[in-house]
Amino acid sequence: MTRVLFVCMGNICRSPIAEGIFRERLRVEGLTEQVSTDSAGTHDYHVGRAPDRRAQAMMAQEGIDISDLRARQVDGFDFEFFDYVLAMDEGNYEWLRAEAPSDYQAKIQPMLSFAASPGVHWVPDPYFGGDSGFRSVYELIDDAANGLLDSVRRRITD
């Protein structure tokens, strides 16, 4: 089993969008028995809450339901358990690198390191913006999900 963790600050916008997109990719590709997903936040602001209503609405427009997800905070076990720990922005990336034991540093990567489109390195936080910010986040993550899927496939076949 390959395990993928998506991480943002509060775990109600970007990381649930990423988890929703990627688990849909896994479903379409028939890989749900070989790959598991989760999402978490670096902070405990929203623990136990469903994704932001704007994130849910935008994902529903794409035919993806993320209403079952609940926010949680990253814990020390995540660094050992997950094969990929994917940060949405630089602050989350630096937080994860500071918290992770040295043996697990290589697992921590920016989500957009898997994107085909060059130039954008971090997924902006849409929380304080309007609906268009959620669409932009979706498009960035959707692009990166293709490269991530390729990486996960290689890992499975190796």
Active site residues: 8, 14, 125
* Nearest alpha carbon to residue 65 among 51, 45, 77: 51
Give the angle 90-99-121 at the CA atoms, nearest 5°.
15
Between the CA of residue 124 and those of 27, 55, 116, 150, what are the distances in Å? 27, 14, 17, 24
Q: Please, which residues bridge with residue 6 across strands?
A: 39, 86
> What is the CA 114 to chain-centroid distance, rounded?
12
Contact of 112 with 121, CB cutoff 8 Å: yes
Counts of helices then strands in the chain (DSSP H, E):
5, 4
Question: Residues with Cβ < 8 Å from 146, sequence gap 6 or more?
Answer: 25, 114, 116
